[in-house]
Amino acid sequence: MDIKSVGIVGAGQMGNGIAHVMALAGYDVLLNDISEDSLAKAMATMNQNMERQVGRGKISENDKRQALSRIRTTATLTELGSSDLIIEAATERETVKTAIFEDLVPHLKPDTILTSNTSSISITRLASRTDRPEKFMGFHFMNPVPVMQLVELIRGIATDAETFETCKAVVDKLGKTAASAEDFPAFIVNRILMPMINEAVYTLYEGVGSVQSIDSSMKLGANHPMGPLELADFIGLDTCLAIMNVLHDGLADTKYRPCPLLTKYVEAGWLGRKTKRGFYDYRGETPVPTR
């Protein structure tokens, strides 16, 4: 199938990043969110990020202008029904995602491909709540989308070969690299990354090291570009906790038990950069460790 139009559900950090790269690659994009303010903010963010790319010589001013002209926004979910490909990038909660797909299904073209940007939830289970499990798969971008080169493609038990090949061709057109993952909790990247972050939180919880010493140790001792606690703040502690819960529930192994300190931070509403406090306090000029 030749994809020309892409509908994106959710205008947050992931959704606007996906819209950004899709429009630059020549796709017509319809970006949806329940909040008009979020849509306006997403357009401003994409304009700013593309301007940064122009400044770095990655794209031309004309590339930017044409890409932005390909993006439309709507607060009406059902308007996405005419898209060739739909990528759901809403909150990492299965009930929210399921409700979105159930609302979309009656308005879809027969050949529309449905995908989810979920970082951990069962693709097979999400697909089963639609009328086209064979045309449903996981389309997991890494954050920040315009910068990161990997896209995880996850087939559910019913996903057909044509759907996979079509999505793979989209990834190729974006200039990114596809990694094929099986439909098991958290797939590849987060199956490995999140337990490392969770273990870093345990290391802090047990007093083995401070926030600063843990992050410095992994940056200087393992050559990681960001420390695990700094990375957790960037991802969002609520997202980290949600993925750990999916791993713990889905694999029934105590090694995936979320650290109580991670749960405590989420209960406090200290979710990282997006709330200005997490393992670091971002309210001043320089981030300061909170423990």
* Residues assigned a catalytic role: 119, 140, 152, 190
Whether 73 contacts 41, CB under 8 Å? no
Q: How many CB atoms lie within 10 A of CB 289?
A: 16
The residue among 54, 93, 79, 24 whose CA lies nearest residue 239 is 93
β-strand 280-281 against 71-74: which pairing, if any? unpaired
Alpha carbon distance 59, 119 (integer Å):
29
DSSP 8-state assignment for residue 259? P
270: number of Cβ within 10 Å: 19
Sheet (strand 71-74) strand order:
71-74, 28-32, 5-9, 85-88, 113-116, 136-141, 150-155, 177-181
> H-helix or E-strand containing 8?
strand 5-9
- Please, what is the end-to-end C-alpha distance for the chain in angstroms? 52
**Separation in Å, CA 287 to CA 186, 211, 218, 279:** 29, 12, 18, 9
Whole-number Å distance between alpha carbons of 130 and 136: 8
CB-based contacts of 28, cutoff 8 Å, min separation 6: 4, 5, 6, 70, 72
